[in-house]
Chain A
Amino acid sequence: MTKYLLPLVLMLFFSSCVVVKEYDKVYLNDDEMLLSAKGMERFETNFQIYREAAAGANGGKTGGGCGCN
């Protein structure tokens, strides 16, 4: 599934030919449209890093700490 999904996402990005002007970004500037993980999610992300093998690729911490409890 991944070999189809990743090219699809990349194609969607690079095919974007519309340039949205600053005065048209009212929806995009809404604080719910944040593209990185929200500050309130940091503790959930932290326990997921401890309990799961996978981590990273969310704009947050990618290493450090023993995660051993």
Chain B
Amino acid sequence: MRISLFQIPSRFVSIFLLGVTFCANLSAQQNGNTYTKRVLETAEVDMLFSYYGQDGNNAAVTGGEGTEELTDATSTLVVRMPLNENDVLTVDVGLSAYTSASSSNVSPLDSSNDNLSPFDASSGESRKDVLTYINPSYQHSSADRNTIWSVNAYFSNEYDYTSVGFGGSYSRSFNENNTELTVSSQIFLDQWRIINPIELRPGFFDDRVEGPGTYNPNFEALDKENRNSYALSLNFSQILGKRWQGAVFADAVVQQGLLSTPFQRVYFGDVGDFFIDDFQLADDVERLPDSRFKLPLGGRLNYFANDFLVLRGYYRFYWDDWGISSHTASLESAVKISDRFTLYPNYRYYTQTAADYFYEKEAALSSFDFYTSDFDLSQYDAHQYGLGIRYKDIFTNATILKFGLKTIELRASKYDRSDGLDAFIVTLGTTFVAIQ
């Protein structure tokens, strides 16, 4: 059964928030004899919404040529509950509802159009889906606040993909809290439910097929359905002065299993072309190695210029053993225009080289072992421009139920890629705190 984004019962949300308030008050009463400053003073609730849209003409589902039009609406609720002076439980739940023109062309025969084309969306069920997820985590801080450890779990599900993850982290502060080192690890055990393009499924027949002879692709079904990811992360942060601080991040990620997407078509240059109207039938699906090693290294540098301006810089170098390397750089400034309002102009630049296995439409040969026409793995540059505005009320004068509004923030960004993909995203976020 598919769930619409707007069908979450408001009664369920109200009961959930009242439960959070009860837990927060209970834990406060249990520790009434002595006072220790809590890691988190009171329960907090973040409500986040985003709307994303993109368009382009290099859809991977149709072998690198076709509409990439997609919209996604995501709604997320994050609840942080202090269990006692030292422990915090966080529950992050959400759902993401999307419609995708390219996904609809997994089965273009559902189209009501008179002329089938990779540049038109189909009306079949594969045009939309809902991803739901939950990510609980538990954090413990030592009494001297110099050590923090945490554990977390993750579960998400959509029509053809399920992800299960768990992980943990350990942080240690030293040098009078001027230095912090964090080691963390995360494991995801994901499962595909393989869906192939309709023309590659057993028993396919359509009397409209045109081409040189009989359409009979040499297609072998993918033999793996799992995708496992193992990540080890090291974060090192350092205060550099009264106005400067920075951090260095290093991850090592290993992925194994089915790393290609089973419904992304590939068209070979040495195989005859078959069509239904203007829609070219697949020669194969993309095939990629069953392992990948990723090594991203990043750094962040923040500068408190004055009471009105804070600068946040970020840089990342990325390398993987599929032949991709990339650079990412971003700069965001926080401009405090009053006690309550802050503006966030920001810019991000991204560039990457192509994967060894990327070929444009008809450029791969059927004798190759690995091939994809997914332009997300091609060479390109991208520019992202954004602006945000935040209202902050430390007195939480506006209240809903037993929660006061602490912040409300709106962000909008435009993303332009050199291969023609354009995207935009709008995000609205609010933070409420429990009133005791």
**Residues of chain A whose beta carbon lies under 8 Å from any beta carbon of chain B:** 2, 5-6, 9-10, 12-13, 16, 18-22, 24-25, 27-28, 30, 32-36, 39-44, 46-48, 50-59, 61-66, 68-69
CA distance A54 to B322 in the complex (A): 11
Q: A18-B241, A22-B176 are in contact. Are A63 and B326 (CB under 8 A)?
A: no
Does B89 lie at the interface of the complex (its beta carbon under 8 Å from any beta carbon of A)?
A: no
Give the interface centre of A10, A13, A36 by most chain B CB atoms within 10 Å.
A13
Q: A27-B304, A33-B304, A39-B48 are in contact. Are A52 and B251 (CB under 8 A)?
A: no
**Residues of chain B whose beta carbon lies under 8 Å from any beta carbon of chain A:** 46, 48, 50, 52, 54, 70, 72, 74, 76, 78, 98, 100, 102-103, 129, 154, 156, 158, 160-161, 163, 165, 175-178, 186, 188, 190, 192, 227, 229-231, 233, 235-243, 245-251, 253, 255, 261, 263-264, 294, 296-302, 304, 310, 312, 314-318, 320, 322, 324, 326-328, 334, 342, 350, 352, 355, 376-377, 382, 384, 386, 388, 409, 411, 413, 415, 417, 421, 423, 425, 427, 429
Shortest Cβ distance from residue B344 to the other chain A in the assembled complex, whole angstroms:
9
CB–CB A19/B176 < 8 A: yes
Interface of A is mostly: loop
CB–CB B355/A39 < 8 A: no
CA distance A65 to B58 in the complex (A): 22
CB–CB A47/B423 < 8 A: yes
CB–CB A53/B48 < 8 A: no
CB–CB B310/A32 < 8 A: yes
Shortest Cβ distance from residue B156 to the other chain A in the assembled complex, whole angstroms:
7
Interface of B is mostly: strand
Partner of B237, one of A35, A53, A55, A56: A35
Chain A minimum-CB-distance residue to B334: A32
CA distance A10 to B253 in the complex (A): 22
Give the interface centre of A2, A35, A54 by most chain B CB atoms within 10 Å.
A54
Report B-chain residues with C-beta under 8 Å of the C-beta of A51.
54, 376, 415, 417, 421, 423
CB–CB A40/B48 < 8 A: yes
Partner of A54, one of B188, B296, B312: B296
Partner of B310, one of A30, A50, A55: A30
Partner of A40, one of B245, B301, B350, B409: B409
Report B-chain residues with C-beta under 8 Å of the C-beta of A48.
350
CB–CB A56/B190 < 8 A: no
Q: A28-B245, A40-B409 are in contact. Are A59 and B324 (CB under 8 A)?
A: no
CB–CB A58/B261 < 8 A: no
CB–CB A5/B315 < 8 A: yes
30 A-B residue contacts at CB 8 Å? A5-B315, A9-B299, A13-B246, A16-B178, A16-B239, A20-B242, A22-B176, A35-B237, A35-B245, A39-B46, A39-B429, A40-B48, A40-B427, A41-B411, A42-B48, A44-B413, A44-B427, A51-B423, A52-B382, A53-B355, A58-B316, A62-B251, A63-B186, A64-B165, A64-B188, A65-B161, A66-B227, A66-B261, A68-B264, A69-B103
